[in-house]
C-alpha cells in the first residue's frame, strides 16, 4: 500500500509541474493576445507582437495536452468527473483555443478582414486565460458531487465568488507574463508601452495575489500550519518585488523569469491547499476524489513513471532548444 501511495503522490506533483509549465509558457502568449490592442497601436507593432509568439504558441500547448493526458492515465476518475462536469466551460475553452489558432493563420493571409481575425485572436486569448483559472478554482474550492462522484451542479455553480477570484488572479498573472515577455521581445515605443503596461499590471498582481492568499487562508484553515503556504507567499512577493526593481532600472533581461517566479508561488499555494484532493466535494468531503481513491493501478503508475523519466527531459530539452534558437528581439517580418 505504501508503494502505490508514493507513486500517487509522485504523479500529483508531476501533473502539477506539467500544468505549471503550461501556465508559464502558454501564459505569456495568451497574455500577448489579450494585451494586443493596448500595446500595438499600429499594424506593424501588432505584427511584431504576434511574430514574437509565432515559433512558440503551438509548442506551448503541448504542455496542456501532456498534462491532461497524464491526468487521464494516472487519475481517470478525476479526469472523467472534471471533463464531463465542466463540459460547458471546457467547450468554451476549446472553442477559444480553436478560434485563436485559426485567427493567427487567417490574419496573415486574409488582409481584407485583418481586424476581424484580430478580434477573434484577442477574444480567444482573453476567454481561455480567464476560464482556466476559474476551472482550477472550482476544482480546489470544491463542487457538489453525487454518490457516484459525478458533478451534481450546473454552469452557474462554476461562477461562485471564490472560483472567480482564482480566475481573476490567474488572469492578472497571465497578463503580467505577457507584458514581461513583450518587454523582452520588443524595442522602441512598443517596448516603452510594454513597460508602462508592466508597471500597471505589477500593482494589479500585488492586489489580486494579496486577496488570493487571504481568501485561501480563510477558506483552507489547515494552510496556516503548512510551511509550503508561507513559502508560496514569499516566492510570489519576491517575484513581484524583483519585477519592481527591474522596472525601475528598465532592465528587461530577467523580467520574464521574475514574473514566472511570482506565478509559480500562486501555483504552490494552490497545490498546498488542494493536496491530496483532485476534485473536492463541497457538499460532503467523503465524496471527494483524491489521489488515493481516484488513481489507476500501481502497474500503470509504474509504467507511466518510466515513460515520464524518458519523455519529460525530452520535452524540457526541446522547449529550451526552441527558446534559444528564437531568442532576441522580434521584427515585423521575422516569422
What integer is the mean pLDDT of 37-52? 91
What integer is the mean pLDDT of 29-35? 94
How far is CA 91 from each of CA 31, 75, 178, rounded to the nearest angstrom? 21, 21, 24
**pTM for the full predicted model:** 0.93
* pLDDT attached to residue 152: 87
* pLDDT attached to residue 333: 63
Cβ neighbour number for residue 278 with a 10 Å cutoff: 25
How large a percentage of the chain has pLDDT more than 90?
59
| Residue-wise pLDDT tens digits, 269-320 | 999 999 999 999 998 888 999 999 989 999 999 999 998 988 888 888 888 8
Cβ neighbour number for residue 112 with a 10 Å cutoff: 6
Q: Is pLDDT larger for residue 9 or for residue 247? A: 9
Residue 215 has pLDDT above 90, yes or no: yes
How large a percentage of the chain has pLDDT more than 70?
98
| Residue-wise pLDDT tens digits, 105-145 | 888 888 888 889 999 999 999 999 999 999 999 999 999 99
What integer is the mean pLDDT of 50-67? 85
Task: Round the average pLDDT of the chain to a whole number and report it.
Answer: 90
Least confident of 82-91, 95-104, 144-153, 168-177: 82-91
* pLDDT attached to residue 334: 52
Note the Cα 126 to chain centre separation in Å: 12
Indicate the pLDDT class of residue 332, thresholds 50, 70 and 90.
low
Helix (H) or strand (E) segment spanning residue 249: none
Q: Is the dihedral of CA 140, 161, 265, 211 positive or negative?
A: negative
Helix (H) or strand (E) segment spanning residue 313: helix 298-325
Beta strands in the chain (DSSP E): 277-279, 289-290
Amino acid at each position: 500500500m505504501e508503494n502505490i501511495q508514493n507513486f500517487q503522490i509522485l504523479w500529483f506533483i508531476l501533473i502539477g509541474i506539467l500544468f505549471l509549465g503550461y501556465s508559464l509558457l502558454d501564459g505569456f502568449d495568451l497574455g500577448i493576445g489579450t494585451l494586443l490592442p493596448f500595446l500595438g497601436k499600429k499594424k506593424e507593432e501588432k505584427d511584431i507582437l504576434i511574430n514574437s509568439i509565432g515559433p512558440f504558441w503551438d509548442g506551448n500547448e503541448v504542455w496542456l495536452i501532456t498534462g491532461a493526458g497524464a491526468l487521464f492515465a494516472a487519475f481517470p476518475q478525476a479526469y472523467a468527473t472534471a471533463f464531463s462536469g465542466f463540459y460547458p466551460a471546457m467547450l468554451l475553452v476549446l472553442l477559444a483555443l480553436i478560434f485563436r489558432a485559426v485567427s493567427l493563420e487567417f490574419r496573415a493571409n486574409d488582409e481584407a478582414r485583418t481586424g476581424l481575425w484580430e478580434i477573434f485572436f484577442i477574444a480567444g486569448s482573453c476567454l481561455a486565460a480567464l476560464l482556466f483559472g476559474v476551472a482550477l478554482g472550482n476544482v480546489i474550492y470544491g463542487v457538489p458531487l453525487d454518490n457516484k462522484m459525478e458533478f451534481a451542479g450546473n454552469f452557474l455553480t462554476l461562477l461562485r465568488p471564490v472560483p472567480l477570484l482564482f480566475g481573476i488572479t490567474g488572469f492578472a498573472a497571465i497578463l503580467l507574463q505577457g507584458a514581461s515577455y513583450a518587454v523582452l521581445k520588443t524595442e522602441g515605443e512598443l517596448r516603452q508601452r510594454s513597460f508602462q503596461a508592466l508597471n500597471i499590471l505589477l500593482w494589479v498582481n500585488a492586489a489580486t495575489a494579496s486577496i488570493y492568499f487571504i481568501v485561501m487562508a480563510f477558506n483552507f484553515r489547515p494552510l496556516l500550519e503548512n510551511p509550503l503556504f508561507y513559502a508560496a507567499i514569499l516566492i510570489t512577493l519576491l517575484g513581484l518585488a524583483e519585477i519592481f526593481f527591474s522596472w525601475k532600472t528598465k532592465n528587461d533581461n530577467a523580467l520574464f523569469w521574475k514574473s514566472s517566479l511570482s506565478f509559480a508561488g500562486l501555483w504552490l499555494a494552490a497545490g498546498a491547499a488542494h493536496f491530496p484532493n483532485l476534485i473536492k466535494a463541497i457538499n460532503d468531503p467523503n465524496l471527494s476524489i483524491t489521489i488515493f481513491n481516484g488513481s489507476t493501478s500501481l502497474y500503470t503508475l509504474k509504467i507511466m513513471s518510466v515513460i515520464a523519466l524518458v519523455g519529460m527531459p525530452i520535452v524540457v530539452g526541446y522547449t529550451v532548444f526552441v527558446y534559444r534558437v528564437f531568442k532576441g528581439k522580434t521584427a515585423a517580418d521575422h516569422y
